[in-house]
Amino acid sequence: MVRTVLGDIAGDVLGHTQCHEHLFIEKGTSFDCNPALYMEDEDRTVDELRAYVHAGGKSVVDAQPPFCGRMAEKLVAASMRANVHIIAATGVHKRQFYPADAPILAMTREVLAEFFVSELREGMISEKGERFGACAGIVKIAFESDGSLDDRLTDAAIDAVLETGAPLMVHTEKNCGVLPLINRAVRRGVSAERVIICHMDRTSREMDVHRAVLETGAYLDYDSIHRYKYLSDDEELDIICKMLEFDYEKQLLLSLDTTNRRLRSYGGETGLDYILTVFFPMLRLRGVTEEQLFMMSTENPAAALAFR
């Protein structure tokens, strides 16, 4: 099963799923780092989701963790209003996105792990600091901009994954140790198939590195589609098609990693439906089959997001 903000569902009803997006981000430290990281308007986000559903989208992972702008109550409201499955994240992001007094920065590993487990099983913490019934469905950790990892945060996240069977999402940066992290999780008892590695389409142009990650059994979420500050659509297509040539179609996921500058309802030019309406036709022109598109957008997310 997959744990959405409205409850558990069977993976085979997820449909087309984008596994790393941002639907809401509360104005705060993230906005101070980058004004594009601010989406608080429920009506605008619902409009965006409805366009996504109209294009064929069914499910979305909101990758914003607690205490750095996640708006859990609005995720629930948007899921109901737009009739879309939303999977929320617990865990941690890069330290720069937290205010200095964020509770998560002072918690011990044991307390952190208990907190992550409680968000997965009992309910998330709302913007008001109160727990309510909607649960997170994925645990996130993040490499810092310099490629380092906080051992306390990482071990707590792995503890929570082992306790609950939830999937583990990993934010990557250039020159970070993705393979050592996967090996670390595996040594602790987490199957590599439970790990979703994000952003490698923009953090590494070394195809041998991509292949090495996929050889572990982990998923790669290519989520920089149409992010021209990182790479062009043609470059993105090259990466995806190269991995398909090597028969990794069962481990690839596709997303946009949206910000307010990329959502049409907030004045952006891309739109959450871009993969369905624009990028899929590009992939077809490159010879990608309907079976491969279905696998990357529907079958793989159902497996990657399932609790084990």
pTM, entire model: 0.97
Pairwise CA distance, residues 24 & 47, whole Å: 13
Q: What angle do CA 163, 147, 182 make, to 5 degrees?
A: 35
Distances (CA, A) of 86 to 54, 75, 164, 169, 225: 16, 7, 19, 15, 20
pLDDT score for 130: 87
Confidence band (pLDDT; 50, 70, 90) for 104?
A: confident
Which stretch of 27-31, 57-61, 159-163 has the lowest confidence by average pLDDT? 27-31
Please list, residue by residue across 56-89, b when 16 or more beta carbons sit within 10 angstroms of its beta carbon and e when fewer do. Answer: ebbbbbbbbbbbbbbbbbbbbebbeebebbbbbb
Is the Cβ–Cβ distance between 112 and 158 less than 8 Å? no
Tokens found for residue 61: 């992972």
DSSP string, 237-281: HHHHHHHHHTT-GGGEEE-----TTT-GGGT-SS-TTHIIIIIHH
The pLDDT tens digits of the residues spanning 155-178 come to 999 999 999 999 999 999 999 999
User: For 7, left (φ over 0), alpha (ψ -120 to 50), or beta?
Assistant: left
Our CA angle for 276, 278, 281, nearest 5°, is: 85
Mean pLDDT, rounded, of the chain: 96
The per-residue pLDDT for 34 is 93
Which CATH number does the domain 2-304 belong to among 3.20.20.70, 3.30.565.10, 3.40.50.2000, 3.20.20.140? 3.20.20.140
Model pLDDT, residue 86 = 98
Given a cut of 90, whether residue 129 has pLDDT beyond it is no
Close Cβ partners of 306 (under 8 Å, ≥ 6 residues apart): 1, 2, 11, 167
What is the per-residue pLDDT across 257-297, written as a single tens digit (0 to 9) for each? 999 999 999 999 899 999 999 999 999 999 999 999 999 99
* pLDDT band of 153, cuts 50, 70, 90: very high
